[in-house]
Amino acid sequence: MEFAELIKTPRVDGVVLHRPFLPTVEGTLCLTGHHLILSSRQDNTEELWLLHANIDAIEKRFIGSLGTIIVKCKDLRIIQLDIPGMEECLNIANSIEALSTLDSVSLMYPFFYRPMFEVIEDGWNLFLPEEAFKELESMTDEWRLSEVNKDFSICPSYPALVTVPKDIDDDSLCKAATFRHGGRFPVLSYYHKKNGMVIMRASQPLTGTSGRRCKEDEKLINATLRAGKRGYIIDTRTIAVAQQAKARGGGFEQEANYPQWRRIHKAIERTNILQESLIKIVEACNDHSNSMDRWLSKLEASNWQSQVKEILTTACLAAQCIDREGASVLVHGTEGTDSTLQVTSLAQIILEPACRTVRGFQALVEREWLQAGHPFQQRCAQSAYSNEKLRSEAPVFLLFLDCVWQILRQFPCSFQFNEHFLVMLFEHTYASQFGTFLGTTAAERVKLKLSQKTVSLWSWVNRPQELERFLNPLYEPNSLVIWPSVAPQSLLLWEGVFLRWNRSTKCLDEAYEEMVHIIEYNKELQLKVWVRSSAAGQRRFMGPCISHMHILSL
């Protein structure tokens, strides 16, 4: 298919662009296969480049021969284009609709995008399971890297390599896989260096109404327990939902068959409910006519903050089991690709300081989301504005990012990255020039040859000139476990995402700049004092000052 077939009117002059809090721009609108471009053709004004993939919905209006298209984006931005000429406007609208809803992955922009920068460090090779396993091996010999899924036949949503208890052979894994939804048998998610406790993740066991059991599955998870130790199974569903799952062949671990495990049920909602929640909160934030009471009641009705609290609480509980109770944890929900990953990845942020660095966080996203088979392409096909019927869209990853942001707000000095980094990840999961979030599983990504045909997001992010924007000036590495507060009074609305296009942040941005300036100036002064005291022959006395020098040497 040629994109040109879908573009009847590639160019219109005299188009006016309206954006909140920015001056209107008049210029020429161009449509290409992947972009909507508006340029005023003046040197000093910014051009608008919008990926069709970022367009969630459009609305057309006509007043006489002046047409207006309201473009609603997946990153929640809403812009308005006034287009002279009814026919042009209709053509443009039809093209945008067609181009923004292309189903074929291979037509996506990442396959056409050629980077304007030199790839120094290829993001596709940065976070390989083998490398992660080497690190694990240096701490413990209780685990092995299994190739049982090397052709993705045992579990289509797992990567080719998974980490499992050393004493469990591949045959047992195959059998355990038949007992778990989608073949997602229990695998290692996180190893807590401090006490050797682990987080495992899986999908629900297929006990069904008859109470099926599987010796290999029991053996597999028991193999993760040390002698005399017990563990916790965190089922992210309520007991009622888990019971209902039995009728469809699913279920949960019966105490009788897993006597060494204590099961805890939490209440993380299913994906379709999360999507409704997103639609409602975005609607509330975009309504400028709200009274105080209406705003609060809409915020409440959206349930978004409740989801954040529940996910965060569950993750804290998992971390508490590991770090405070000294017990290992198995986490699952139904499919093990959504709430499970929210919990396991957040628990690692709480427990493991390395996950709070830029690289560590990227590795976490790779490991716990991409390789673990979160179906990004399905979940992020539509955002909050789409009028299309929902398929399996859900803001699962956005909720995870929101939870990370909540922790970041409570521990502003403990993260190497800042809020912009999280917002950027949100944007790229919905529409991107990079191939990182394409596809739904590791298997599909291999089939699509993403690593050969597209550029990795990490290749771009990790370039020093890009990275700078995403670094937190307040960061001071700290090796501690960080326990966030999950009280409703401590949880905030993530304005950086939900009010991003509805408010002017000029005053806040300037204040942030001033804070950065104070920090930078402090480093500069430290250096000055250090240099001068050296010059005065007193360098050997300057002990306390040296600890600040590592910052300068970065």
What residues between 234 and 263 interact with another protein by CB under 8 A? 262
* Rounded Cα–Cα distance for residues 28 and 122 (Å): 37
Among 120, 256, 507, 554, binds another protein (CB under 8 A): 507
Q: Which of 362, 495, 488 is nearest to 437 (CA)?
A: 362
Q: Which of 10, 180, 110, 210 is nearest to 451 (CA)?
A: 110
Instruction: Assign 502 to helix, strand or coil.
Output: coil
Q: Does 515 bind another protein (CB under 8 A)?
A: yes
Q: Does 274 bind another protein (CB under 8 A)?
A: no
Range 20-49, binding another protein (CB under 8 A): none
* Rounded Cα–Cα distance for residues 406 and 315 (Å): 13
| Nearest-approach distance from CB 333 to another protein, in angstroms | 16
Considering the complex, state which of residue 106 and residue 297 has its C-beta at the smaller distance from another protein. 297
Q: Does 273 bind another protein (CB under 8 A)?
A: no
* Rounded Cα–Cα distance for residues 463 and 484 (Å): 31
| Nearest-approach distance from CB 484 to another protein, in angstroms | 7
CB proximity list for 227: less than 8 A, separation 6 or greater: none
Q: Does 264 bind another protein (CB under 8 A)?
A: yes
Lay out the site mask for another protein across 216-235 (x = CB under 8 A, - = otherwise): --------------x-x---
| Nearest-approach distance from CB 316 to another protein, in angstroms | 4
Among 189, 275, 303, 371, binds another protein (CB under 8 A): 303
Q: Does 485 bind another protein (CB under 8 A)?
A: yes
Range 393-432, binding another protein (CB under 8 A): 409-414
* Rounded Cα–Cα distance for residues 474 and 38 (Å): 38
The answer to whether 163 and 187 are in contact (CB under 8 A) is yes
Range 178-217, binding another protein (CB under 8 A): 194
Among 132, 281, 365, 486, binds another protein (CB under 8 A): 486
> What does the longest C-alpha to C-alpha distance in the chain come to?
83
Q: Does 267 bind another protein (CB under 8 A)?
A: no
How many chain residues interact with another protein (CB under 8 A)?
90
- Which of these ranges, 60-68, 133-141, 164-172, 297-305, lies near another protein under the rule CB under 8 A? 297-305
* Rounded Cα–Cα distance for residues 298 and 305 (Å): 11
Lay out the site mask for another protein across 82-121 (x = CB under 8 A, - = otherwise): ----------------------------------------
Q: Does 285 bind another protein (CB under 8 A)?
A: yes
Range 311-350, binding another protein (CB under 8 A): 313-314, 316-317, 319-321, 323-327
Distances (CA, A) of 41 to 14, 33, 65, 142, 291: 11, 21, 24, 63, 42
Q: Does 554 bind another protein (CB under 8 A)?
A: no
Among 139, 260, 488, 552, binds another protein (CB under 8 A): 488
Q: Does 391 bind another protein (CB under 8 A)?
A: no
E-strand stretches of 122-217: 143-146, 162-165, 187-191, 198-201
Lay out the site mask for another protein across 116-155 (x = CB under 8 A, - = otherwise): ----------------------------------------
Residue with tokens 């009274």: 291
* Rounded Cα–Cα distance for residues 409 and 389 (Å): 35
* Rounded Cα–Cα distance for residues 185 and 164 (Å): 10
- Which of these ranges, 9-17, 33-41, 119-127, 302-310, lies near another protein under the rule CB under 8 A? 302-310
Spacing of C-alpha 243 from chain mean position: 30
- Which of these ranges, 29-37, 176-184, 436-444, 507-515, lies near another protein under the rule CB under 8 A? 507-515
Among 535, 550, 553, 554, binds another protein (CB under 8 A): 535
| Nearest-approach distance from CB 402 to another protein, in angstroms | 13
Q: Does 453 bind another protein (CB under 8 A)?
A: no
Considering the complex, state which of residue 81 and residue 316 has its C-beta at the smaller distance from another protein. 316
Distances (CA, A) of 347 to 88, 257, 318, 344: 52, 27, 6, 5
Phi/psi at 485 (5° precision): -85, 135
Phi/psi at 287 (5° precision): -90, 110
Considering the complex, state which of residue 240 and residue 525 has its C-beta at the smaller distance from another protein. 525
E-strand stretches of 270-384: 328-332
CB proximity list for 287: less than 8 A, separation 6 or greater: 298
Among 139, 518, 549, 552, binds another protein (CB under 8 A): 518
